[in-house]
Amino acid sequence: MRLHRDFDTTLLLLAVALTCLGVVMVFSSSCVVAGEKYGDAFFFLKKQLKFALVGGLLMALTMYVDYEFWRKIAIPLLLLGICLLALLFVPGMGVTAGGAARWLRLPGITVQPAEFVKLGLVLYLASSMTRKKEKIRSFKLGLLPYILVLGAILGLLLLQPDLGSAMIISGVALTMLLMAGARWSFVVPLVLSVLPAVYFMIMHVDYRRRRILAFLNPWKDPYDTGFQIIQSMIAFGSGGVFGKGLGGSEQKLFFLPEAHTDFIFSVIGEELGLIGVLAVSGIFLLLVLRGLRIAWYATDPFARYLAFGLTLLLGMEAFVNMAVCLGLLPTKGLALPFISYGGTSLIASLVAVGILLNISSRIEVPQ
Rounded to an integer, the average pLDDT of 285-296 is: 97
**How many whole angstroms from its chain centre is CA 39?**
30
pLDDT interval class at 1 (50, 70, 90): very low
Query: Structurally, how many domains does the chain consist of?
Result: 1
Q: pLDDT by residue (tens digit) across 211-236?
A: 888 888 888 888 888 888 999 999 99
Residue 367, pLDDT above cutoff 70: no
Rounded to an integer, the average pLDDT of 172-200 is: 90
Distance CA 258, CA 65 (A): 36
- What per-residue confidence (pLDDT) applies to 2? 42
Amino acid at 49: L
pLDDT interval class at 99 (50, 70, 90): low
How would you write 273-294 as a 3-class SS string? HHHHHHHHHHHHHHHHHHHHHH
Residue pair 41/26 in contact by the 8 Å Cβ criterion: no
Amino acid at 215: F
pLDDT interval class at 133 (50, 70, 90): confident
* pTM summary value: 0.93
Rounded to an integer, the average pLDDT of 236-247 is: 93
Q: Which of 20-34, 150-164, 270-284, 342-356 has the lowest mean pLDDT?
A: 150-164
The residue that leads in pLDDT, 302 or 254, is 302
Mean pLDDT of all residues belonging to the chain: 90
- What per-residue confidence (pLDDT) applies to 27? 96
pLDDT interval class at 347 (50, 70, 90): very high
Q: What's phi and psi for 179, nearest 5 deg?
A: -60, -35
Cα–Cα distance list, 296 to 316, 319, 365, 366 (Å): 18, 21, 10, 12
Q: What's phi and psi for 334, nearest 5 deg?
A: -115, 135
- What per-residue confidence (pLDDT) applies to 20? 97
Rounded to an integer, the average pLDDT of 336-345 is: 94
**DSSP states of 175-196 as a string?**
HHHHHHT--HHHHHHHHHHHHH
Cα–Cα distance list, 115 to 23, 112, 293 (Å): 19, 6, 24
**Segments forming the whole domain that contains residue 53:** 2-365
